[in-house]
Amino acid sequence: MTKNISFIFLILFIQNSVFSQQKPQKQNVNFALAIHGGAGTILKKNMTPELEKEYTDKLNEALQKGYDTLSKGGSSLDAVIVSIKILEDSPLFNAGKGSVFTADGKNEMDASIMDGKTLMAGSVAGVRKIKNPITAARCVMEKSQHVMMVGNGAEQFAVQCKCDFADSAYFFDQKRWNQFQKIKEKELNKPVLDTTGSIKPSEVFFKDEKFGTVGLVALDKYGNLAAGTSTGGMTNKKYGRVGDSPIIGAGTYANNKTCAVSCTGHGEFFIRSVVAYDVSALMEYKGLSLADAANEVIMKKLVSLGAEGGLIAIDAKGNITMPFNSAGMYRGYMKSDGKKEILIYR
């Protein structure tokens, strides 16, 4: 008798596991994604029509590739990687190839990724030779027991992950170098550590320079959210400075229960305000809509602190919001219903 019962249980168990493997994942038709290429003092008067076209074309290419990934049934994480790699490979944006220079004339990049389904996350900071830091961040998430790796250690791990590497000549961009020289000159006239307190750090770092951190948030056909961010940081950054972009909860966050967020702006403020997680927390604990939560953080909290920047965010229904409090933000979105927009200015 007991033997018979055990046999029945065994059959039921086998059936159940075979069926659960065959069960197709439920598909959500409302897939969507949003992209940013950085916020800052991006003014139409400083832009030529040709340059504007270069930016919109590149954002469009990255957005379209991410969209194609999602429409073919790829995951939101795959879309994050595909799109961000395209922007990292372009000198137009401050990430990967187009990374800005540190105070000692080097390029140090940060990147992070988060999976809203599992709440797993990975990030790298202060890496100098990884061609696409976002791929290394994903590898940290998927192939290590850790969340964040920095500098040489992150690069050593990226070798194991078979990430592509590039030398400093690849990351050198004359325009970025000229920007850096201009900032250096300004710094000579206005030291950062002004003891009179008359200069806010945001002025030295941020005012009339354009930024171009890149980020992507996506909702896939299976209802899973993901977010990723990649950056060269801020021009003239010093002493191994790390910004918000590789910090989970500050520059990047994703949770299927709420939203996926990627930020851009003056990192020190974004870290202190835990911006990306704050948006999610306002939704989770206060029941705010995506747009209201993001607005609260970018337009109220950060503005009251004097911090410039913005974010892109998407919720589990595919709603998208892209608030920023700076002059401009390279941004765009695409939805499965065919809606698409690419914007630069306010």
Are the C-beta atoms of residues 297 and 309 closer than 8 Å to each other?
A: no
List residues bridging with 312 in a β-sheet.
262
List residues bridging with 254 in a β-sheet.
260
Answer yes or no whether residue 123 interacts with ligand ASP by CB under 6 A: no
Answer yes or no whether residue 37 interacts with ligand ASP by CB under 6 A: no
Q: Residues 37, 126, 228, 267: which binds ligand ASP (CB under 6 A)?
A: 267
For ligand ASP, give the closer residue by CB, 223 or 233: 233
Q: Residues 264, 280, 325, 326: which binds ligand ASP (CB under 6 A)?
A: 264
For residue 121, what are the contacts with CB-CB under 8 A and spacing of at least 6?
112, 113, 114, 115, 141, 147, 248, 252
Burial of 22 from C-beta contacts in 10 A (0-12 / 13-18 / 19+): exposed
Dihedral angle, C-alpha 143, 144, 146, 151, nearest 10 °:
-90
- Of 81-89, 177-185, 227-235, 282-290: span binding ligand ASP (CB under 6 A): 227-235
- Of 61-69, 143-151, 195-203, 264-272: span binding ligand ASP (CB under 6 A): 264-272
**Cβ at position 211, least distance to ligand ASP in Å:** 3
Q: Which residues are catalytic?
A: 213
Looking at the chain, how many residues does it have?
Answer: 346
Q: How many CA atoms does the CB half-sphere of 217 hold within 13 Å?
A: 33
**Cβ at position 55, least distance to ligand ASP in Å:** 15
For ligand ASP, give the closer residue by CB, 318 or 332: 332
Answer yes or no whether residue 244 interacts with ligand ASP by CB under 6 A: yes
Q: Show the beta-strand stretches assigned E in 239-326.
A: 252-254, 259-265, 309-315, 320-321
Name which of residues 207 to 226 contact ligand ASP (CB under 6 A).
211, 213
Answer yes or no whether residue 234 interacts with ligand ASP by CB under 6 A: yes
Closest CA to 143 of 130, 159, 127: 159
**Cβ at position 18, least distance to ligand ASP in Å:** 48
Are the C-beta atoms of residues 314 and 33 closer than 8 Å to each other?
A: yes
| Tokens, residue 70 | 């999602």
- Of 50-58, 196-204, 261-269, 332-340: span binding ligand ASP (CB under 6 A): 261-269
Answer yes or no whether residue 243 interacts with ligand ASP by CB under 6 A: yes
For ligand ASP, give the closer residue by CB, 126 or 223: 126
Burial of 188 from C-beta contacts in 10 A (0-12 / 13-18 / 19+): exposed
List residues bridging with 114 in a β-sheet.
121, 227
∠ Cα 312 90 98 (to 5°): 85
Q: Residues 69, 76, 230, 245: which binds ligand ASP (CB under 6 A)?
A: 245
Answer yes or no whether residue 76 interacts with ligand ASP by CB under 6 A: no
Answer yes or no whether residue 38 interacts with ligand ASP by CB under 6 A: yes
Name which of residues 172 to 211 contact ligand ASP (CB under 6 A).
211
**Cβ at position 27, least distance to ligand ASP in Å:** 34
Are the C-beta atoms of residues 32 and 333 closer than 8 Å to each other?
A: yes
**Cβ at position 146, least distance to ligand ASP in Å:** 21
**Cβ at position 270, least distance to ligand ASP in Å:** 6
Answer yes or no whether residue 231 interacts with ligand ASP by CB under 6 A: yes
Q: What's the rounded Cα separation, in Å, for the pair 127 and 130?
A: 7
For ligand ASP, give the closer residue by CB, 149 or 316: 149
- Of 130-138, 188-196, 239-247, 276-284: span binding ligand ASP (CB under 6 A): 239-247
The DSSP secondary-structure symbol of 170 reads: H
Answer yes or no whether residue 90 interacts with ligand ASP by CB under 6 A: no
Interface contacts to ligand ASP, rule CB under 6 A: 38, 211, 213, 231, 233-234, 243-245, 264-265, 267, 270
